[in-house]
Amino acid sequence: MTVVVRGGFVIDRPADVVIAGERIVDIMAPGTAETVGAEVIDAGGLAVLPGMVDGHVHFDEPGRSDWEGFDAGSAAAAAGGVTTIVDMPIDSDPPTTTAALAEAKVDAARARSRVDVALWGGLVPGSVDHLDDLAAAGVVGFKAFACPSGWDDFPAVDEPTLVAGFAAAHRHGLPLALHAELEALGHTAESEVAAIGWAASRADGARLHVVHVSAAAAVDEARRWPNVTVETCPHYLSLTTTADPHARCTPPIRDAANQEALWRHVLDGAVDAIASDHSPCPPERRGEWAGVAGVETTLAVLLSSGRMTLAQVAHLTTAAARLLRLPGKGAIVRDYDADIALVDLDAAWTVSPDALWCRHRSSPFIGRQLGARVVRTLVRGSTVFDLADGPRPHQGRVLRARSAGRP
């Protein structure tokens, strides 16, 4: 079946996008694509963006699908224009620290995800002997905490574990993702800076990816070191208070001066990627849990900020495809997967529980008016969400990263 996405603006130029099977086969001048026998999607007046590749989500399955799960989580992702998610190892029960546990998560994702899925493997003191097998299983990299994670079965790395993790990451050409806070310094900006320096000085040629940076000074520290990439999140760029328990997270949301400095880093290219760090919890845990639900609002929040061009938003929200070596993802170009988000840039809407698809309908953005909205999402050429009807049945695929040990 041929699909023609017709009449939209592909980031910054009008064009028709032609899809055959699961791939983009042509990008043509508007109105010139052959439509006889094709499904035509009218994108008139809409932005046609590459689907977001969210490199940092916690869907909690297997073991804690009452927290989120691939069914509800992928519905939220699709509603937010996210076409690929990369799931963290920490919140599954048990966490994803062996190849067998990675395969259990693969089975859950295949059964229930509407969007494509890749996996991080867990680096904890007890998983060092499993890292080669995790790489062979296709994880995109190894995730570690420099501080307590909140789960007893996912402890912080000590120095020998960190060094061993970097060695395995280097061996397989994968990044090591770090939650960069040191327990002794609490949740201060200085803690993020110190943790980055501690880890980067032990990387020995491996790639260090610092997740959810909240402090502008931590970006400065990261730039002092080779082979270090930095991710931040929309809540750090748009919120300045944690009075709402739904905005409680670690590292914490910081003040307006820090936020402005962080924005400068985003705009000058010092930040490599933006991810949601979607980390929900059941309502009864909200007072103690630190995590923001945001996979379905990331694109809309960034596009509503008025501070980024469409090209900048597209670049930063698909950067995970390049950083994590997910072929065929993250761009609207020939021969890539037809992962597309159609966005109305003139849609004024208020975030409310009824507008959300995550399991517990929670968000720190409830009550906020946004000026852009995803109206349709395609994964490999098939619609997985439209605004009128909501999410469609699952058809996600599990992606295996191309490590040095895999063809």
Please state, as a whole number, how many other Cβ atoms lie within 10 Å of the Cβ of residue 393. 7
* pLDDT at residue 406 in the model: 52
List of domains in the chain: 2-48+336-391 (2.30.40.10), 51-323 (3.20.20.140)
* pLDDT at residue 407 in the model: 45
The SS3 of residue 33 is coil
Confidence of residue 329 (pLDDT cuts 50, 70, 90): very high
Which position has the token pair 């990816």? 209
Query: Is the pLDDT score of 226 beyond 80?
Result: yes
Do residues 66 and 358 lie in contact, with contact meaning Cβ atoms separated by under 8 Å? no
Position with higher pLDDT, 406 vs 217: 217
Q: What is the mean pLDDT of residues 91-113?
A: 97
Closest CA to 372 of 300, 321, 319: 300
Residues 271-316 have pLDDT tens digits of 999 999 999 999 999 888 999 999 999 999 999 999 999 999 999 9
Q: What is the mean pLDDT of residues 16-29?
A: 97
Query: Is the pLDDT score of 338 beyond 50?
Result: yes
Query: Is the pLDDT score of 332 beyond 80?
Result: yes
Strand 142-145 relative to strand 273-274: parallel, antiparallel, unpaired? unpaired
DSSP string, 279-294: ----GGGTTT---B--
* pLDDT at residue 371 in the model: 97
Do residues 139 and 99 lie in contact, with contact meaning Cβ atoms separated by under 8 Å? no
Burial class of residue 359 (count of CB atoms within 10 Å of its CB; 0-12, 13-18, 19+): buried
Average pLDDT of the chain is: 96
Please state, as a whole number, how many other Cβ atoms lie within 10 Å of the Cβ of residue 106. 17
Residues 38-50 have pLDDT tens digits of 999 999 999 999 9
Percentage of the chain beyond pLDDT 70 is 99
Give, for 48, the enclosing helix (H) or strand (E).
strand 47-50
Q: What is the mean pLDDT of residues 154-163?
A: 98
Query: Is the pLDDT score of 404 beyond 60?
Result: no
Q: What is the mean pLDDT of residues 365-387?
A: 97
Q: How many residues does the chain have?
A: 407
Query: Is the pLDDT score of 345 beyond 70?
Result: yes
Percentage of the chain beyond pLDDT 90 is 95
Which range, of 137-146, 286-295, 349-358, averages the lowest pLDDT? 286-295
Confidence of residue 403 (pLDDT cuts 50, 70, 90): low
Query: Is the pLDDT score of 405 beyond 60?
Result: no
Rounded Cα distance between 52 and 330, Å, is 7
Q: What is the mean pLDDT of residues 127-139?
A: 97
* pLDDT at residue 1 in the model: 75
Do residues 124 and 168 lie in contact, with contact meaning Cβ atoms separated by under 8 Å? no
Q: What is the mean pLDDT of residues 160-182?
A: 98
Q: What is the mean pLDDT of residues 122-147?
A: 97
